[in-house]
Amino acid sequence: MIRSNPERDSDPTRGTNVSLVRSNNGQERSTRPGSDDEDTTWTNNHMAPGKRKLSTWDLITLSVSLAGAQIAWTVELGYGTPFLLSLGLSEQLTALVWLAGPISGLVAQPLIVISTLTLAYCIPLAKFWVDLFHLGSQSLDETKKETANKVAILLAVLSFYILDFSLNGLQASLRNLLLDVAPPNQLSAGNAWHSRMTNAGNVIGYGFGFLPLAQLPIIRWVGGSQFRKFCIICMFILIITIAITCFCHEEVERSNKAQNKRNGLREIVNNIRDAALKLPMPIRRVCCVQLFASMGWFPFLFYSTTYIGQVMAAEIGQEPDHELATRRGNFAMSLYSVVGVITGTVLPHLVYSDRRLQRLKTDVDEDAEPSWLRETFRQWKADAARQGKPLRLPTAPILMKNIWSGAMFLFAFLMFSTFFVKTVTQATIFISLLGMCWAVAMWVPFTIMMEFLKEPAAPALNEATASRHAVCNESTPTPVVCQSDGERTPLLRQKPSDDSNSETEEVTAAHSSTPIAGGTVLGIHNLAIVGPQFIVAVINSIIFRIVDESSSLTSGGGGGSTYFGKTGVSWVLRWGGMCVFLGAFVARRVPPTPSEQQMRRRLDEIQMLSEEPATP
């Protein structure tokens, strides 16, 4: 809705590309739209105290630790399942290994403490370390070798649990750091950089996994297998990236009251429960979508390299070389990561491909918005006249929820296409195309979450704004014209559609709900992502037991083999695709973000201005 304000229209700056913004002390000043002055004014007025505008370098250093974390993830995702299978663990038990990391955190620490309480455990511990490091392994009898192998399996499983727990905590902390450090208008850019760094970490990690590290001079001196060399490289990268983020960024110190308050475990659990019950509907729907999406992504991430090995075995008709199969799987995941990086870089720019839309993302004072929109329309009209072209207004950008649901439908389609994948080349193409879906999954849901988290912290709508929104939803709009200095400005827009009304009501309800700590909500969101891993592990184990045992009986393969004669991973992927397919319909119910609502409203108002008859 555009309102004409005589005080604004009588301003001597009217007719030039100048808009008025209100400063913190209530005084108004003139700024040119799109100028640095205007951006600076918005920064001073709308940023939380202590938050400055982050440069591109700041965003890079803020998110570079995610690249290090993702490189560490590639160790678990690319080599985890093949490594456990090579130790003799069955596929059913391997599926159960991929339970959530917190279990390992609850079990491992007490066991370590109990086992080292007294010196009476020195002798068993000495035997344990001998078995662990294979000291004197040449002289071990068969019983000792079997014990050493069991110890190796136990330590491998425990290590993967701890790694999973640690990386989940690191990633959650980095998301919280972005929420605490970045101003609201840079959350989308920050999440885009998070997505890019995540995909860059995949490229580097799977690239190292594909390269023959034993032939590289810089790492040749490290003994052991490719897996061991890869782990050492990842450790150094993770330490360096975390050090960069910690050195370049500092959170605002909490108040003494917040620091002195110590929450017990029961209070923390109660806070999470209360926050989960009071979640605004948009955030609740995002978490619900993530439940379905995670059921599809976890099987793919953990079994993609194993899938390549099974396809290779079916193609050549025998058990392939394990290291070659793992490297081919890492090559496919490298291509998948490259596609993800390209998609994560290009897609955010394609959403706002018309540069004029960037101007409509500018935040201005509520009272100055009508005159600011008029000046914007005049500028567009003047630019079109100079180019000798008719004015064509930009179309509204694609909604985040549409991008998200579209990527989920593509994910489901690709998973069902495994029925037709017969060669390693086809499997590599299938995996690489999923990089587009991953880039969206690492960008859109976090952007939606943080927009809804930041919006309630803004000041409540004032009376003028409330009345303005109320008038906009009248069932029988009346064309009202207010003339000032020869200008005719429509005060009312047509009644929005029922869908728009319902979406607006949901967003309004989210804003009016009781504020919840952003870190708590992000923690609940992380639980929605990690929680399905329990269900996935159990169902995957059942699928492997049914499918692979029946395949072994019918084909005669699979007995004692890692890849040959087994098709369980394909069925696990298809089951995940079905879950994501259902989640895509839930994603359609996620309302537009506050910035998308604002963009659509401003475009509607400029459209009304373009339909006004020309003034004499």
Q: Tell me the DSSP string of 180-195.
A: HHS-GGGHHHHHHHHH
In a domain, residue 555? The reply is yes
The parts of the chain modelled with pLDDT lower than 70 are: 1-51, 90-92, 94-145, 223-224, 252-265, 268, 352-367, 394, 454-519, 550-560, 612-616
Report which of 21, 52, 58, 49 is spatially closest to residue 37, judged by C-alpha positions. 21
Q: What is the DSSP letter of 442?
A: T
In a domain, residue 102? The reply is yes
In a domain, residue 80? The reply is yes
Rounded to an integer, what distance in angstroms lies between the CA atom of residue 393 and that of residue 372? 16
In a domain, residue 30? The reply is no
Task: Return the pLDDT at 560.
Answer: 59
In a domain, residue 615? The reply is no
**Two structure tokens written together for 395:** 């179309």
In a domain, residue 296? The reply is yes
Number of domains into which the chain is organized: 1
Residue with tokens 């995941």: 333
Query: CB within 8 A of 1, min separation 6: which ones?
Result: 468, 471, 472, 490, 491, 492, 493, 605
The range of the structural domain enclosing residue 467 comes to 55-250+267-354+395-610
Rounded to an integer, what distance in angstroms lies between the CA atom of residue 119 and that of residue 165? 30
Task: Return the pLDDT at 585.
Answer: 95
Rounded to an integer, what distance in angstroms lies between the CA atom of residue 115 and that of residue 135? 21
**Two structure tokens written together for 203:** 């490229």
In a domain, residue 20? The reply is no
Q: Give per-residue pLDDT as tens, 283-299.
A: 889 999 999 999 999 88
Query: CB within 8 A of 299, min separation 6: which ones?
Result: 536, 540, 569, 572, 573, 575, 576
Rounded to an integer, what distance in angstroms lies between the CA atom of residue 36 and that of residue 29? 14
Task: Return the pLDDT at 229.
Answer: 82
In a domain, residue 372? The reply is no
Give me the residues paired with residue 483 across strands: 488
Q: What is the CATH number of the domain that holds 163?
A: 1.20.1250.20
Task: Give CA separation, 534 vs 79, 294, 445, 541, 544, in Å.
Answer: 21, 11, 22, 11, 16
